[in-house]
Amino acid sequence: MANDKVKDLKTEILSNNWYTLKKVTFDLQQADGSWKNMSREAYDRGNGAVILLYNKASQNVILTRQFRLPTYINGNPDGYLIECCAGLLDENNPEDCIRKETEEETGYKVTDVKKIFEAYMSPGSVTEILYFFVAEYAKDMKISDGGGLPEETEHIEVLELPFTEAYDMIGTGEIKDAKTIMLLQYAQLNNLLS
């Protein structure tokens, strides 16, 4: 990282419980050339990958449904979100990660995954970048029930929905997850199921 408009970067760990919360102080050069001392907090949970599984023949997509505490404490009545399959990279590269997560969460073993873009999801406070993928699935790729790993306390419901129904759920508010909205819109704009 090299930016000559940032100097005197100092990092303090505020919490290292579930993930890492850092307080960073630094000097940032302003448009007039002066320097301003600033302080920000950044949550580091690692980078992740997300995938939309689709089937052209059936016109269906595979999504998941699981409890998300932050949404619950921010007013989501039951705390459950409908999402595309996703996970943290840990020590894996994005493609290996998303293949592993797809198998664990949905029960499908996909082989041909296509990376379509990368995006920061909440760059004002979270360091994570997400790698977005799509892959076509078929019934014969189903090797387990999915649902996530018990040791990771995942209780994931696997949903197979018509693409048009899933896409309409954005408008009804039934799908509020940004990564899922982005992938469904990508599929619509690029005629992925045509």
For residue 151, give the CATH number of its domain: 3.90.79.10
Please state the domain count of the chain.
Answer: 2
Structural domain contains residue 194: no
Structural domain contains residue 158: yes
If asked whether residues 95 and 159 sit together in one domain, one would say: yes
Structural domain contains residue 147: yes
**Does residue 153 register a pLDDT over 80?**
no
Structural domain contains residue 74: yes
Which has more confidence, 147 or 66? 66
Q: The domain containing residue 152 runs over which residues?
A: 48-189
Mean pLDDT of 100-118: 96
The pLDDT tens digits for 20-58 are 999 999 999 999 999 999 999 999 999 999 999 999 999
Residues in a beta bridge with 43: 21, 126
How many angstroms separate the CA atoms of 192 and 194, rounded? 6
Give the pLDDT band (50/70/90) at residue 111. confident
pTM across the whole model: 0.92
DSSP string, 9-35: EEEEEEE-SSSEEEEEEEEEE-TTS-E
- Is the separation of the CB atoms in 63 and 161 below 8 Å? yes
pLDDT > 70: percent of the chain: 97
If asked whether residues 19 and 55 sit together in one domain, one would say: no
Furthest-apart CA pair in the chain: how many Å?
63
If asked whether residues 57 and 133 sit together in one domain, one would say: yes
**Does residue 150 register a pLDDT over 90?**
no
Collapsed DSSP state (helix, strand, coil) of residue 47: coil
Mean pLDDT of 89-98: 93
**What pLDDT, on the 0 to 100 scale, is given for residue 148?**
80
Reported as half-sphere exposure (CB side, CA atoms, 13 A), residue 83 has a value of 21
